[in-house]
Amino acid sequence: MLHHFATLGSAIRTMGAFRGSIAYIERALALSTRRASITELRLRDDDLPIYVRLAKSDWYALTQVFFKDEYDPKSSSHDSAMNRLYTETLAKGKTPCIIDCGANIGMASVWYSRTYPKAKIISVEPEPENFSVLLKNAASRPQIHPINAAISDRSGFVELQNTQDNDAWAWETRESQSGGVKTVTICDLLASDESLVPFILKIDIEGFEVELFRSNTEWVEQTPLVVFESHDHGYSWRGTAHAILSVLTKDTRDYIQHGENTFAFSHALLKQL
């Protein structure tokens, strides 16, 4: 059942006035969690709706992306290089491609759709309930193309598990020989449309980074910006950051940390711009 909270929607629409009062808004939202499964909100300066489940971790995902701007590296030099490449790619008749690995309900995808409105955003999310909310967030944003699958370095299947109190953003994938959720590869996604040019790869896949960077990583040297969250803090001794960096550091990149995300900008693809 869909509920629209006019008061909470107004709070989000006037987000600037509430930047110093996030805790207050969170308490107000918490009072509503028993009354709504999915809530429609609107961001300031955006007429398109955003859908979240207040009883889940969705609100915290929204605050990370839109209150704390965790997908903005806060670097004017790097932003300028990305914007120039974005413009040049479109001028050549090509489509900048953003792949959101571990899209959850699509908050990062929505952020990228506002920042690069002519890019194609492929949002990959394996968990069915998260994916259903992602579909709602993508419905009014044609740039976002949801795929109900798990990202990997090879075609196959994974099973889902959640060991963190069933938080909606903490679903893990484990390889399975007996079926389950299908996997897709980055190379296959890029090959699905000949007009696509790699632009941004965002990775937040709860420890499965080890498998993603295990093989078939030729897409890395073609991708100007890789944005990733290291999960060494939550998945001890898997070596997730090592798996990522052992591939990324084969070429020179600038690394910028903002919030939970690390931004890796390719010198070869961006510095000359």
Residue range 251-263, pLDDT digits in tens: 999 999 999 999 9
pLDDT at 167: 61
The pLDDT tens digits of the residues spanning 121-143 come to 999 999 999 999 999 999 999 99
Q: Per-residue pLDDT for 27 more than 80?
A: no
Structure-model confidence comparison of residues 74 and 6, the more confident one: 74
Summarised one tens digit per residue, pLDDT across range 150-171 is 999 999 999 888 766 556 555 6
When pLDDT is averaged across residues 221-229 and rounded to a whole number, the result is 97
**pLDDT > 90 fraction of the chain, expressed in percent and rounded:** 68
Q: Is the pLDDT of residue 59 over 80?
A: yes
pLDDT in tens, 102-114: 999 999 999 999 9
- Determine the pLDDT at residue 272: 73
Enumerate long-range contacts of 95-98, CB under 8 Å, 24 or more apart.
Answer: 95/119, 95/120, 95/193, 95/195, 95/196, 95/197, 96/120, 96/197, 96/199, 96/200, 97/121, 97/122, 97/189, 97/190, 97/193, 97/196, 97/197, 97/198, 97/199, 98/122, 98/199, 98/200, 98/201, 98/202
Q: What's the confidence (pLDDT) of residue 30?
A: 55
Q: Is 15 exposed, middle or buried (0-12, 13-18, 19+ CB in 10 A)?
A: middle
pLDDT the model gives residue 78 = 97
> 0.75 cut: is pTM over it?
yes
Q: Quick one: pLDDT at residue 169?
A: 53
Place 4 in a pLDDT band, splitting at 50, 70 and 90: very low
